[in-house]
Amino acid sequence: MLSTMQDVPLTVTRILQHGMTIHGKSTITTWTGDPEPQRRTFAEAGARAVQLANALRDELGVRDGDRVATLMWNNAEHVEAYFAIPSMGAVLHTLNLRLPVEQLVWIVNHAADRVVLVNGSLLPLLAPLLPHLPTVEHVVVSGPGDRSVLDGAAARVHDYEELIAGRPTTYDWPELDERSAAAMCYTSGTTGDPKGVVYSHRSIYLHSMQVNMTESMGLTDRDTTLVVVPQFHVNAWGLPHATFMTGINMLMPDRFLQPAPLAEMIEREKPCHAAAVPTIWQGLLAEVTAHPRDLSSMKQVTIGGAACPPALMEAYDKLGVRLCHAWGMTETSPLGTMSHPPAGLTEEQEWPYRITQGRFPAGVEGRLIGPGGDVLPWDGVSAGELEVRGNWIAGAYYGGSDGEPLRPEDKFSPDGWLRTGDVGVISPDGYLTLTDRAKDVIKSGGEWISSVELENALMAHPEVAEAAVVAVPDDKWGERPLATVVLKDGATADYETLRAFLGESIAKWQLPERWALVPAVPKTSVGKFDKKVIRKQYAEGELEVTTL
């Protein structure tokens, strides 16, 4: 039986129209390095977004489905691009300016971007790449920066302000299919080529609603959010869309992401909400410890991208700032879970919930798949790989402009769920705790052992400086853990002592038999343990292994 309700597509266009009218007085404040920041209302930014859409169509010839890239910081112009490009039916492609240049080149070519909007301050990054980007016909430069580095470029160069000046502030927006592409973002691709996630209007719209629900970030037009998480990565966690939906004011740091200017903008502008990865909050904490600033306006801070060290949460608690864990990835838009504790608990009782990754919202289903491929119970003990399903979860990767979408088996289950590559447990009341990456977990006799758990337990020993645990082949169990340990100077602990120490907190069957002392744990370029290298060292007999 059919309903009698209207059917209106869920589009970014609608979010733009809503924000620039109902919330027209809300503001985007962008840090500029000048004594006064740039301030622009949603009405003004919305009108400029409309002008940009007109310019892209009429002057640059952008058409339905064309990819328009941005290489920009968090600022009002980037917000304008966020709305103009999808609303006109084109696809916003945000470029991660932290990627190695060869990956950037690969990505732009794979997406076949026709236009790049770039901040002047990022021209030194873009200019040398341009000769390798044959699809890019236009470069649009916004903000201060030496344009002369583009002299001789094959692409036409435009100034953002000159390009939009005098254009109409109305646009006959196309009626878009809510399932059509609105934006895209590539994963960084530590192994293999980067993979493109193409967000739909529907996925962005529903994700925005979720971000604004009280159980997630709970934003209202009475507040200000400090958007540290970059717009060039996973849509700045959906905040630009969410803000236009409910009118919360945006505070944008542009390129001023160092602890000192961040502390200054918080003290001056008093955001009640902020979103960023743990390293940002680590740096800010060191800054305000050295040079005290009042951060207490920030009643809720969303922290994600990596697990937040509990000590960091505690330190911010003392400053009157509450860090709230969220988990997500490029493929999940990114809101996968958030860790608001259940009601009615004391602070002490809340703590174990706060350090989990949190609960799934209604729009995200989660399940744990065990070593044997079975769906595991939510018992807080059974560890499996997390798979997720929902409208803002990727079901494939972009296959290029004339390729089929890619659905690699290690990334998507046969019934379409995303394999997150994260291993963890879920409590009976639905709180997710991630313990490891699937590729690092030790698959021992049909059970999984978390390498991270063993490492953390080992590193709690007073004589251990660092410890990395990897899976190594074992005839009887399939895999068993190998513990590689860096002792502190002058330490005397032997393997039996360390194993006994581990046994105090870890089940006996999980304890490593194989041990090796190493001078240092090999690390990746971003400082993470490089377990590939350790496994290779073991396989090639380069480690001096003792078996207990």
Active site residues: 187, 331, 443, 448
Asked if 526 is part of the footprint of its own copies (rule: CB under 8 A), the reply reads no
- Please tell me what DSSP assigns to residue 404: P
Asked if 107 is part of the footprint of its own copies (rule: CB under 8 A), the reply reads no
What is the nearest approach in angstroms of its own copies to the Cβ of residue 409? 16
Asked if 203 is part of the footprint of its own copies (rule: CB under 8 A), the reply reads yes
Asked if 25 is part of the footprint of its own copies (rule: CB under 8 A), the reply reads yes
Asked if 22 is part of the footprint of its own copies (rule: CB under 8 A), the reply reads yes
Asked if 346 is part of the footprint of its own copies (rule: CB under 8 A), the reply reads no
Rule CB under 8 A: choose which of 219, 262, 303, 482 binds its own copies.
219
Per-residue binder mask for its own copies (CB under 8 A), 45-74, x = binder: -------------------xx---------
Asked if 8 is part of the footprint of its own copies (rule: CB under 8 A), the reply reads yes
Tokens standing for residue 480:
């068993």
Asked if 237 is part of the footprint of its own copies (rule: CB under 8 A), the reply reads no
Piece of 211-219, 228-236, 279-287, 510-518 that binds its own copies (CB under 8 A): 211-219
5/526 with CB nearer its own copies: 5
Name the residue among 221, 198, 431, 223 with its Cα closest to residue 336. Answer: 431
Site for its own copies in 301-340 (CB under 8 A): 340
Residue 153 contacts by C-beta under 8 Å, 6 or more apart in sequence? Answer: 127, 130, 131, 139
Q: Say how far apart CA 343 and CA 352 lie, in whole Å.
A: 13
21/547 with CB nearer its own copies: 21
Asked if 174 is part of the footprint of its own copies (rule: CB under 8 A), the reply reads no
Residue 296 contacts by C-beta under 8 Å, 6 or more apart in sequence? Answer: 319, 320, 321
Phi, psi of 66 (to 5 degrees): -65, 145
Asked if 209 is part of the footprint of its own copies (rule: CB under 8 A), the reply reads yes
Site for its own copies in 72-91 (CB under 8 A): 91
Total binding residues toward its own copies, as defined by CB under 8 A:
74
Buried b / exposed e along 499-523 (16+ C-beta atoms within 10 A): bebbeeebeeebbbbbbbbbeebee
Q: Say how far apart CA 356 and CA 324 lie, in whole Å.
A: 10
Per-residue binder mask for its own copies (CB under 8 A), 348-377, x = binder: -----------xxxx--x------------
465-471 CB contacts, 8 Å cutoff, 24+ apart: 465/491, 466/520, 466/521, 467/521, 468/521, 468/529, 468/531, 468/534, 469/442, 469/512, 470/440, 470/442, 470/531, 470/534, 470/535, 470/538, 471/440, 471/441, 471/442, 471/443, 471/535
8/526 with CB nearer its own copies: 8
Site for its own copies in 457-496 (CB under 8 A): none
Residue 358's DSSP bridge partners are 432
Q: Say how far apart CA 242 and CA 214 lie, in whole Å.
A: 13
Per-residue binder mask for its own copies (CB under 8 A), 247-266, x = binder: x-------------------
Buried b / exposed e along 371-404 (16+ C-beta atoms within 10 A): beeeebebeeebbbbbbbbbbbbbbbbbeeeeee
In order, the DSSP letters of 355-378 are: TS-BB--TTEEEEEE-TTSPBPPS
Piece of 219-227, 261-269, 291-299, 474-482 that binds its own copies (CB under 8 A): 219-227
Rule CB under 8 A: choose which of 234, 396, 469, 498 binds its own copies.
396
Piece of 10-18, 140-148, 226-234, 501-509 that binds its own copies (CB under 8 A): 10-18
Site for its own copies in 420-449 (CB under 8 A): 429-430
Rule CB under 8 A: choose which of 149, 153, 157, 213 binds its own copies.
213
What is the nearest approach in angstroms of its own copies to the Cβ of residue 394? 5
